Chains A and B, each alone.
Chain A
Amino acid sequence: MEITEVKLLTIIAEAVLEPQLIEVVEEKGAGGYTITDARGSGSRGVRSAGWTHNGNIRLEVICTSDVADDIAACLRERYYADYAMVLFVTDVGVLRPDKF
C-alpha cells in the first residue's frame, strides 16, 4: 500500500468566525474541510461549546504543504490579533493524494 505524506492543518477558533474561515480555506485551494464543535480553555478564558457566542470550532483541512502555508499565513495576518485562535500543522499519510 502506498502512503503519501500530506499536511493536516488544524484550526481551533471562535465559532463566530466559521464563515470567514471556510472562505479562506476554499479560496486557498483546499479540497475540503471538517468542522466540529469544540470547547476548552486558553489565554482567552474558558470557551464552552454550549453557547454560540463563546463557542469554539475545530476546523481540519488535509492539504498540500503549500496550501497549508498559504492558509496559515492568511489567517495569521487577518485574525491572530483580535480573535481566539490556535493553529497547528502535522504530517499525515493518505492513500489517495489526488483527493487533497
Chain B
Amino acid sequence: MDPVIWFFLLGVLAGFMRSDLRMPKAVYELLSMILLLTIGLKGGVELAQQPVGGLALQVLAVASIGVVLPLVVFSVIRALSTVARADAASLAAHYGSVSVATYAVGVSFLATRNVPVDAQLPLFLVILEVPAIMIGIVLAKGAAARSNWGGVMHEVFLGKSIVLLIGGLLIGWLSGPVGIEPLEPLFFDLFKGVLALFLLEMGLIAANQAGDLKRRATLVILTGILTPVPAAMLGIGVGHLIGLNVGGMTLLGVLAGSASYIAAPAAMRIAVPDANPSLSLSASLGITFPFNIFIGVPLYHEAAKWLAGAGA
C-alpha cells in the first residue's frame, strides 16, 4: 500500500482515540494550497509540452458527467428513501462535484506505478467541480426560486481551489518545463510528503465526521459506499470514449467517483440552508473518501486497464 495512506489511518486512529493531535489551521491551508498548485502546475507544464487536440469536445464530455451524476444521484436517493428534498439535492451536489485529495491520492498511486497520465486531467478536475453544485441548488429550490446566485457564483468560481488550480495551470503552461524547474523542489519533489501530512489531517477530520454519524446512519453509509463505484465506471467509460490513456481513464474515474468536501459543503450551506450539512459531509468525508483511497483507486485502475485492453 502507498505509504501516504498510512498517514490517513494514523489520523483516523488518533481522532478516534481522542489524541490531542491537531494540525494548526494555517498549516492545513498551506498544505492544501501546495497540493492544488502542484496539480495545476503539473498539468500546465505537460499541456505546454504536448498540445492536446480536440480539447473542446473532451471538455464538453467531462462537463456532461458533472451534469448527469447529480441528477442520477438525486433521483435514486429520492426514489429509494424518505430523505428530504434539500438533503437529497445536497448529497447530489457533493457526489457530482469532486475531491482534490482523492485525486491527489490517485496521482500518487499512478506515479508509484509509473503509469503515464494525460496532461489535461487537472483541467477536467476544474471542470467537474462546478456544474454539480449549481444543479444541486436548482434541485433543492427549483429553478424559479429566488436565491443569492451572486454570492453562490462567487463562492463557486472564486473559491480558492478553482483559483489555485487554474492559476497553477496557467503558470505551468506559460513557463514550460524549463521555466518551472527552479520551483520543482517545493512543488513536485515534496508532493508525497505534503500529501502525507495533508492526509494525516484528513484522517482526523474524517474520524470526527464519522463520529457525527448518528442520525440516518444507514442512508449515509449506503450512499457513501454505493455511489462511488458506478459513478467512477461512468467516468472511466467516458475517459475511454474521449481517448484518454489508462492513467487518464483511472483519474477521470477517481474524479467521477469522488465526493466534494470543500467546495460543495460551503456553497450548499449558503444556498440551501435547510439541508443538513453533517449528512452530506459525513457521507463524503467519513465514508466515501476512505472507501476511495483504500478500495476505489486500485479498483478503478484495474477497471481502466481492463477496458483499455478490451477496446484494443
**A19-B151 in contact (CB<8A):** yes
**A16-B28 in contact (CB<8A):** no
B244 within 8 A of A: no
Q: How far is the CA of A64 from the CA of B113 in the complex (A)?
A: 65
Task: Give the segment of A1-9, A44-52, A65-73, A86-94 that binds chain B.
Answer: A44-52
Q: Which residues of B contact A (CB under 8 A)?
A: 22-25, 28, 151, 205, 208, 212, 261-262, 265-266, 269-270, 273-274, 277-278, 281
**B270-A82 in contact (CB<8A):** no
Given A19-B151, A20-B151, A45-B212, does the pair A53, B281 have CB atoms closer than 8 Å?
A: yes
**B274-A82 in contact (CB<8A):** yes
Q: How far is the CA of A17 from the CA of B23 in the complex (A)?
A: 23
Q: Which residues of A contact B (CB under 8 A)?
A: 14, 16-17, 19-20, 37, 45, 48-53, 79, 81-83
**B25-A49 in contact (CB<8A):** yes
**20 A-B contacts, Cβ less than 8 Å apart?**
A16-B266, A16-B269, A16-B270, A19-B151, A45-B212, A48-B208, A49-B25, A50-B22, A50-B23, A50-B25, A50-B28, A51-B28, A52-B25, A53-B261, A53-B262, A53-B265, A53-B269, A53-B281, A79-B273, A82-B273
**A20-B270 in contact (CB<8A):** yes
* B95 CB to nearest chain A CB (Å): 17
7 residue pairs, one from A and one from B, having the closest CB atoms: A82-B273, A16-B269, A53-B265, A82-B274, A50-B25, A16-B266, A51-B205
